[in-house]
Chain A
Amino acid sequence: DAKTTQPPSMDCAEGRAANLPCNHSTISGNEYVYWYRQIHSQGPQYIIHGLKNNETNEMASLIITEDRKSSTLILPHATLRDTAVYYCIVRLRGGSGGSNYKLTFGKGTLLTVNP
């Protein structure tokens, strides 16, 4: 899996958009970008994933650059409950082989939403 780079921490005011960047300059053509988050003392939670097009769901939006070397997770209206560590993960999707199944977590970004 390609390595990702994220800032160790970020702050955001409640109600504002939180934009979390991720660099994945060595991503290959069949690798997807996944985002998970881990709220304190809980298990990680899936947020969103994408290949090359921008994606949006009920939790967030994912913007992937045209060259796919970086992406940004956007929480449009951050709340205090969004305070968590956010992990950007690049992984293969589909096919056989154990390596396709595992998530390789980095250090992530600690997002603190302030009142």
Chain B
Amino acid sequence: DTAVSQTPKYLVTQMGNDKSIKCEQNLGHDTMYWYKQDSKKFLKIMFSYNNKELIINETVPNRFSPKSPDKAHLNLHINSLELGDSAVYFCASSPALGAGERNEQFFGPGTRLTVL
């Protein structure tokens, strides 16, 4: 069974469209993340939710809106897509932080978004 899954794996769309990427984890983790990896392969965090509460919001345009309906899901909605949004988006999850825990983040397979 896949620990962290994302859908779709590939997404090709036109500029100006609105699209969503879904992420689900079956690990029972409290914290979920979205990362963006651009064409230069830099991997940067965008958002993080802990128990459905937003805890990290990096300098991401307002067009990006994460939604966490429950602890197991963190979806990413993008409005008015631009050419620069083309990238691979990775979802990840981790246990809640605490002493003695490894704090390992488990990553999904990624969603390759291409904006034409």
CB contact under 8 A between A43 and B45, given known A94-B98, A94-B99, A95-B97: no
Contact for B50 among A41, A85, A87, A101, CB less than 8 A: A101
B32: min CB distance to chain A, Å: 10
Which of A16-24, A44-52, A61-69 touches B?
A44-52
- List B residues 38-55 near A (Cβ within 8 Å): 41-45, 48, 50, 55
**Interface secondary structure of A, over-half rule:** loop
The answer to whether B92 touches A101, judged by C-beta atoms less than 8 angstroms apart, is no
- List B residues 84-115 near A (Cβ within 8 Å): 90, 92, 94, 97-99, 101-110
Contact for A102 among B4, B56, B108, CB less than 8 A: B56
Instruction: Give the number of chain A interface residues (Cβ < 8 Å).
Output: 23
The answer to whether A94 touches B110, judged by C-beta atoms less than 8 angstroms apart, is no
Bound complex: CA A96 to CA B96 (Å): 10
Q: Counting CB contacts under 8 A, is A107 at the interface? A: yes
B104: min CB distance to chain A, Å: 4
The answer to whether A46 touches B105, judged by C-beta atoms less than 8 angstroms apart, is yes
The answer to whether B107 touches A101, judged by C-beta atoms less than 8 angstroms apart, is no
Bound complex: CA A101 to CA B107 (Å): 14
Bound complex: CA A100 to CA B97 (Å): 8
Neighbouring B residues of A101 by C-beta, 8 Å: 31, 33, 48, 50, 55-56, 94, 97
A-B residue pairs, 10 tightest by C-beta: A43-B107, A98-B55, A105-B43, A98-B56, A46-B104, A102-B45, A44-B107, A43-B90, A101-B48, A94-B99
A residues apposed to B, CB below 8 Å: 38, 41-46, 49, 85, 87, 93-96, 98-105, 107
Residue contacts A-B, CB under 8 angstroms, 9 given: A42-B110, A44-B105, A44-B107, A45-B107, A98-B55, A101-B48, A101-B55, A102-B45, A104-B45
